[in-house]
Amino acid sequence: RENFIHLCNPHLEKMKEDILYHFALGTGTHDFPALFGDVKFVCVGGSPSRMKAFIAYIAEELGLESSGCDYPNICAGTDRYAMYKVGPVLSVSHGMGIPSIAIMLHELIKLLYHAKCSNVTIFRIGTSGGIGLDPGSVVITRESVDATFKPQFEQVVLGKTVIRSTNLDEQLTKELMQCSIEIGQFHTVIGNTMCTLDFYEGQGRLDGAICLYSEEEKLQYLKEAYDSGVRNIEMESSVFAAMCNLSGVKAAVVCVTLLDRLEGDQISTSHEVLVEYQKRPQKLVGYFIKKSLGKV
């Protein structure tokens, strides 16, 4: 059954042209169905270079790479986000934090709608701080929770607080876990992901420019998070889950942990090891895409 993108905005129907400003794309200047109509998988992550590396990786995995090919940035007209495409896979950077990924998602969801895409699955792949996990472990998010461990995304709209659900597709989560078992290369768990508004105080770090709590208070908070089911911390998953839910898009969050926050705050692992860690979510999602396309 065809599952098309749902837009929760009746005002868009009245617009003659929709300009996706932060992508430097628009319905009056670009043929969205021709450019993006075949997209079935979208992978989003913080850094432009990482998303370019992912598109090169998935092109090779799907046998779609060409000799000496340099994948062009579709959003080259702006320096806000980067976008790459090969076959049915779109790879987009989202920057850091809830505001940055939210802006990107508004325009990405509209892009998929204007392109008349159907049966799309969106993945956020990235890095995170683990809780009670060895560095390099991969967490597939069951649900995103806020800093009080509630599965919700809170936003102020027209001066009023709006609460939105942050549940993620349970079946997709199970399928990704099965893929990790089949790969058998790294430790993977399903757990809740805490999404915060900040990297330092918001995540209970002791090494920021401002810190007005003790190490004991920090550890107590992180242990409470662990007891509530939280296994990692990052800064984008809540609005990602909420917006995908409202748009009727199947979505998952897959992040690797760079450290165990119960053991410390600073990331001191070597660059080479971190690079290998960062490839793990790419490998897992890449394997899922290959399997979905019957290429495994």
Per-residue pLDDT, 67: 64
DSSP alpha helices (H): ranges in the chain? Answer: 32-36, 48-61, 98-114, 170-183, 215-227, 237-246, 271-292
Find, among 160, 165, 168, 127, the residue nearest to 261 by Cα: 127
Give domain limits for the chain: 12-293
Per-residue pLDDT, 295: 95
pLDDT band for position 2 (50/70/90)? Answer: confident
Please give the average per-residue pLDDT across 241-265, as a whole number. Answer: 97
pTM: 0.97
Binding residues for phosphate: 80, 124-127
Per-residue pLDDT, 253: 98
Pick the CATH number of 12-293 from 3.40.50.12780, 3.30.420.40, 3.40.50.1580, 3.40.640.10: 3.40.50.1580
d(CA 224, CA 217): 11
pLDDT band for position 65 (50/70/90)? Answer: confident
Name the least confident of 62-71, 226-235, 247-256, 265-274. Answer: 62-71
Write out pLDDT tens, residues 175-226.
999 999 999 999 999 999 999 999 999 999 999 999 999 999 999 999 999 9
Binding residues for substrate: 203, 205
Neighbours of 25 (CB within 10 A): 23
Binding residues: 80, 124-127, 203, 205
Angle at 136 between CA 131 and CA 142, to 5 degrees: 55
